[in-house]
């Protein structure tokens, strides 16, 4: 079975999903369940003077209405370990007081026998506000910016003297690039179902972190960990919004306690625009200096973004710039302005998505200023190491990405002059950009069980948010166990399983794959030990290291006939199953980094068993402090622009990615394609609009918030270097959920400039900016 990894096998959960057998959080129906609907604020700042629920309470079928006046008291989350879960707004616990900090804030919940009755009654709740003047526009409040306290020194980076280098430079450019607020808009809305059974709490929640939600519930409600269980077997996309915990699951649990019945609460699409996070708006000032040959002598990347008045989230747009190119003088800074809006949160490639747009658009501008090929400019400034941290990259094959991408898009046929190429009436443009994202890994655990009938089961409390995690973890386990894929079942999304990585930061593959592999190898090691000590086994007396496992059998290396099946051995020994647990306590994260990924945790059994597991020990003996862990890639785009109408069509998009070992070619291509589509949306369509008079969200559904659809799709060409990273894990794979969006936005914008000669620095590039 040693050829399973990398194969483009179909998703193991595919049939369940297309047949309706995959149960999402909103699809659980506990007995005697009622429906909850949220009531949201209609002002952006102030307090509730009075909230009148009398009329709503008289609606037949309403069983309870919860406000700050009658809700249970919550505790502020304890502990600083991100693995314990992240509540999105640490200074605004739901329904605890009368303060309003932003439009769409949760102020009440109505529970009724049917959803329709709850929704109708929610509209009858009357609220009298004492309004205050909100602050909601970033550009007009830059004077209120400050250096954030979270993230520490990693947000303000400096090497050399960038200002001095800029003053003496042969060539320099300085420009400002802006990105709007973006919303996640996952297909599945946020949904929670809560059921109390005495002091036992069961929660089904659409989350990227079942263990994180459990920890928060334990902390905020003062519960015992063994009394709480959180399940999220299938998630219809998250993109970061479901990585933090928002009010809806907390309110659902509180409501179920109040009405003494199970409660289901599902956000509407409109509610998701104000109660479940967003990407920060950014204003990024880039200054580049070089000599006449294009060698960079200075880089400055200053980012101003915004957060809320109830928490502090930093869009770390400049961090990638600190290591992306070789340059002796670099200065990175981040500032925040607090606004009366819902708190921002991670959105696919947080920091890198808007940040690579700005730095890669600036690099394109410098290339044109130098009359230099944009690829050549990047090669001249190729970074052989992470110069900011003075560490070697764990692996980097970016030059090959540039070459293969250029060949695939037909870069050699590109005329370098803007507005010089046509196809019929369309202006033709080619653009490119570098892609990059952190290669994250955090502590995770798993349990493997081999049964006497020859099938195996893997348990781990990570999640599959629609990306294919069930499938690649099945492939990893099957290869380690020496079993066909259809004999291995991977179970995820249950907080009772061994604790593992949250589904964010492109970390699940690198974090959870190794302990699954180690646990599976641990089972095989126990199996082999049984065989060599069993006088009835054909393997009796052989050295354990001379025995291998494959196709459901263990046998002497190079002697397939000298062995026996797993089932024969286990049945003869009277064993129904063999179990092994493993925890890999490994992290590639800088502990001082901004917005660190959760570190996870695990039960003592897996911790203890891992001390004697050779696969775990080999993995943990690598000194990862010596390396900088990143993935790299190159994005190339061809666009067609109508010179009369200003419409832009992305005609072809090429991505060549260096992301370590590819575990499943089919799901990997799907992930990169999804990221590229996100990048097209950022460049051309997406952006949340706010009412300039009161700060309320205007674009509240997918009819107004535009995302790319099938008609917008280009021809995709997605390729992988497929070289294992030797230091990130024994598997050699890095996460790929986010790198596909990085660089893509800049590649589109750069192609538009090549086609039209018009440089748009304020996203999105709508047709009015090109006419």
pLDDT digits (tens, 9 = 90+) for 613-645: 888 888 889 999 999 999 999 999 999 999 999
In a domain, 296, yes or no: no
Q: Kindly report the three-state secondary structure assignment for every residue of 173-186.
A: EEEEEEECCECCCC
451 and 540, same domain (yes or no): yes
547 and 565, same domain (yes or no): yes
668 and 611, same domain (yes or no): no
Q: Is 636 helix (H, G, I), strand (E, B) or coil?
A: strand
In a domain, 539, yes or no: yes
543 and 638, same domain (yes or no): no
Looking at 627, 660, 692, the residue that finishes a domain is 627
Q: What is the CATH classification number for the domain harbouring 605? A: 3.30.365.10
Q: Which residues on adjacent β-strands are paired with residue 282?
A: 179, 305
Looking at 627, 643, 664, the residue that finishes a domain is 627
What is the pairing mode between strands 426-438 and 422-423? antiparallel
Distance CA 401, CA 722 (A): 11
In a domain, 745, yes or no: yes
426 and 446, same domain (yes or no): no
In sequence order, what are the residues at sequence separation of 6 or more whose Cβ sits closer than 8 angstroms to the Cβ of residue 128?
Answer: 48, 49, 50, 51, 52
In sequence order, what are the residues at sequence separation of 6 or more whose Cβ sits closer than 8 angstroms to the Cβ of residue 49?
Answer: 98, 128, 129, 130
Query: Rg for the chain (alpha carbons), in Å?
Result: 27
In a domain, 707, yes or no: yes
In sequence order, what are the residues at sequence separation of 6 or more whose Cβ sits closer than 8 angstroms to the Cβ of residue 31?
Answer: 262
Active site residues: 738
Distance CA 697, CA 718 (A): 36
In a domain, 580, yes or no: yes
455 and 433, same domain (yes or no): no
In a domain, 571, yes or no: yes
> Phi and psi dihedrals of 375, rounded to 5?
-70, -45
In a domain, 569, yes or no: yes
Q: Which residues on adjacent β-strands are paired with residue 38?
A: 109
Cβ atoms of residues 94 and 76 within 8 Å: no
Name the domain count of the chain: 2
CA 524 to the chain's CA centroid: 33
Cβ atoms of residues 87 and 245 within 8 Å: yes
Cβ atoms of residues 219 and 79 within 8 Å: yes
| pLDDT, position 589 | 74
Low-confidence ranges of the chain (pLDDT < 70): 1-2, 79-84, 152, 590-603
CA 731 to the chain's CA centroid: 21
128, burial (CB in 10 Å: exposed 0-12, middle 13-18, buried 19+):
exposed
Distance CA 183, CA 241 (A): 9
Tens digits of residue pLDDT in 424-458: 999 999 999 999 999 999 999 999 999 999 999 99
Distance CA 177, CA 753 (A): 14
DSSP per-residue letters across 691-722: -TTT--BS--STTTS----GGG--EEEEEE--
Distance CA 245, CA 219 (A): 13
Q: pTM of this prediction?
A: 0.97
In a domain, 662, yes or no: yes
Q: Is 564 helix (H, G, I), strand (E, B) or coil?
A: strand
601 and 721, same domain (yes or no): no
Segments forming the whole domain that contains residue 555: 440-627
| pLDDT, position 595 | 41
544 and 633, same domain (yes or no): no
Encode 3-26: b = buried (16+ Cβ within 10 Å), e = exposed.
ebbbeebebbbeeeeeeeebebbb
Distance CA 191, CA 268 (A): 9
Distance CA 390, CA 26 (A): 48
415 and 463, same domain (yes or no): no
In sequence order, what are the residues at sequence separation of 6 or more whose Cβ sits closer than 8 angstroms to the Cβ of residue 559?
Answer: none
Percentages helix, strand, coil for the chain, rounded to the nearest 5? Answer: 30, 25, 45
How is residue 465 annotated by DSSP?
Answer: -
Looking at 588, 604, 627, the residue that finishes a domain is 627
Name the E strands within 124-170: 126-131, 157-159
Cβ atoms of residues 761 and 178 within 8 Å: yes
613 and 587, same domain (yes or no): yes
86, burial (CB in 10 Å: exposed 0-12, middle 13-18, buried 19+):
buried
| pLDDT, position 416 | 97
Name the E strands within 536-612: 547-550, 553-556, 559-565, 577-584
712 and 602, same domain (yes or no): no
| pLDDT, position 612 | 86
| pLDDT, position 592 | 42
Contacts 24+ apart (CB under 8 A), 669-673: 669/718, 670/468, 671/467, 671/468, 671/736, 671/737, 671/740, 672/718, 672/736, 672/739, 672/740, 673/716, 673/718, 673/740
447 and 595, same domain (yes or no): yes
Identify the helix (H) or strand (E) that includes residue 526. Answer: helix 508-532
Encode 281-294: b = buried (16+ Cβ within 10 Å), e = exposed.
bbbbbbbbbbeeeb
């Amino acid at each position: 079975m040693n050829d399973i990894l990398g194969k483009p096998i179909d998703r193991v959960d595919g049939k369940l999903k297309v047949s309706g057998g995959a149960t999402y959080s909103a699809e659980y129906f506990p007995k005697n369940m009622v429906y909850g609907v949220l009531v949201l604020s209609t002002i952006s700042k102030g307090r509730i003077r009075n909230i009148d629920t009398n009329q709503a309470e008289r609606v037949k079928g309403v069983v309870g209405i919860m406000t700050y006046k009658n809700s249970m008291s919550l505790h502020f989350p304890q502990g600083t370990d991100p693995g314990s879960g992240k509540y999105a707004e640490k200074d605004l616990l739901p329904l605890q007081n009368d303060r309003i900090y932003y439009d769409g804030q949760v102020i009440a919940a109505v529970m009724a026998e049917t959803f329709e009755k709850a929704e109708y009654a929610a509209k009858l709740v009357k609220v009298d506000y004492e309004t205050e003047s909100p602050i909601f526009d970033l550009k007009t409040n830059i004077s209120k910016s400050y250096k954030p306290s979270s993230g520490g020194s990693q947000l303000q980076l400096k090497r050399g003297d960038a200002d001095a280098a800029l003053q003496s430079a042969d060539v320099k450019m300085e420009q400002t690039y802006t990105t709007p607020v973006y919303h996640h808009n996952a297909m599945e809305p946020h949904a929670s179902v809560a059921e109390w059974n005495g002091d036992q709490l069961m929660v089904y929640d659409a989350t990227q972190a079942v263990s994180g939600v459990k920890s928060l519930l334990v902390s905020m409600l003062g519960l015992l960990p063994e009394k709480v269980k959180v399940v999220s077997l299938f998630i219809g996309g998250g993109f970061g919004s479901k990585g933090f915990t928002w009010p809806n699951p907390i309110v659902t649990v509180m409501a179920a306690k109040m009405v003494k019945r199970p409660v289901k609460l599902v956000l509407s699409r409109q509610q998701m625009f104000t109660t479940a996070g967003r990407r920060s708006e950014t204003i990024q000032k880039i200054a580049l200096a070089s000599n006449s040959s294009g060698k960079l002598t200075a880089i400055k990347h200053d980012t101003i973004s915004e957060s809320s008045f109830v928490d502090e989230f930093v869009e770390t747009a400049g961090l990638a710039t600190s290591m992306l190119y070789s340059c002796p003088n670099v200065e990175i800074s981040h500032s925040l302005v607090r606004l009366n809006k819902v708190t921002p949160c991670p959105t696919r490639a947080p920091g890198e998505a808007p940040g690579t747009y700005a730095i890669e658009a600036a690099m394109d501008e410098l290339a044109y200023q130098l009359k230099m090929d944009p690829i050549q400019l990047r090669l001249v400034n190729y970074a052989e190491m992470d110069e900011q941290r003075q560490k070697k990259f764990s692996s980097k094959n970016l030059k090959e990405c540039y070459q293969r991408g250029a060949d695939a898009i037909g870069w050699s046929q590109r005329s370098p002059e803007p507005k010089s190429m046509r196809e019929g009436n369309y202006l033709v443009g080619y653009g490119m950009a570098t892609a990059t994202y952190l290669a994250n890994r955090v502590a995770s655990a798993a349990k493997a069980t081999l049964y006497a009938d020859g099938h195996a089961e893997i348990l781990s409390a990570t999640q599959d948010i629609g990306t294919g995690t069930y499938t690649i973890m099945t492939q990893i386990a099957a290869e380690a166990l020496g079993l066909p894929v259809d004999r291995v079942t991977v179970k995820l999304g249950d907080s009772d399983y061994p604790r593992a990585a949250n589904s964010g930061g492109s970390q699940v593959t690198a974090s959870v794959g190794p302990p699954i592999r180690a646990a599976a190898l641990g089972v095989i090691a126990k199996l082999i030990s049984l065989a060599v000590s069993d006088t009835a086994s054909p393997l009796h007396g052989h050295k354990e290291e001379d025995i291998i496992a494959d196709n459901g059998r263990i046998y002497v290396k190079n002697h397939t006939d000298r062995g026996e099946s797993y089932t024969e051995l286990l049945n003869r020994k009277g064993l129904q199953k063999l179990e092994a647990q493993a925890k890999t306590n490994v992290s590639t994260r800088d502990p001082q980094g901004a917005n660190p990924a959760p570190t996870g945790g695990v039960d003592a059994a897996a911790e203890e068993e891992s001390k004697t597991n050779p696969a775990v020990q080999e993995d943990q003996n690598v000194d990862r402090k010596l390396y900088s862990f990143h993935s790299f890639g190159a994005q190339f785009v061809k666009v067609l622009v109508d010179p009369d109408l200003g419409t832009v069509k992305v005609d072809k998009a090429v991505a060549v990615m260096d992301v370590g070992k590819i575990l499943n070619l089919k799901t990997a291509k799907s992930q990169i394609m999804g990221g590229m589509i996100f990048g097209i949306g950022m460049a051309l369509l997406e952006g949340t609009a706010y009412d300039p008079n009161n700060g309320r969200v205007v674009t509240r559904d997918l009819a107004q918030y535009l995302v790319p659809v099938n008609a917008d799709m280009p021809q995709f060409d997605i390729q992988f270097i497929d070289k294992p990273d030797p230091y990130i894990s024994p598997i050699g794979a890095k996460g790929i959920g986010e790198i596909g969006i990085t660089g893509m936005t800049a590649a589109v914008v750069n192609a538009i400039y090549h086609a039209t000669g018009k440089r748009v620095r304020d996203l999105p590039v709508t047709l009015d900016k090109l006419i």
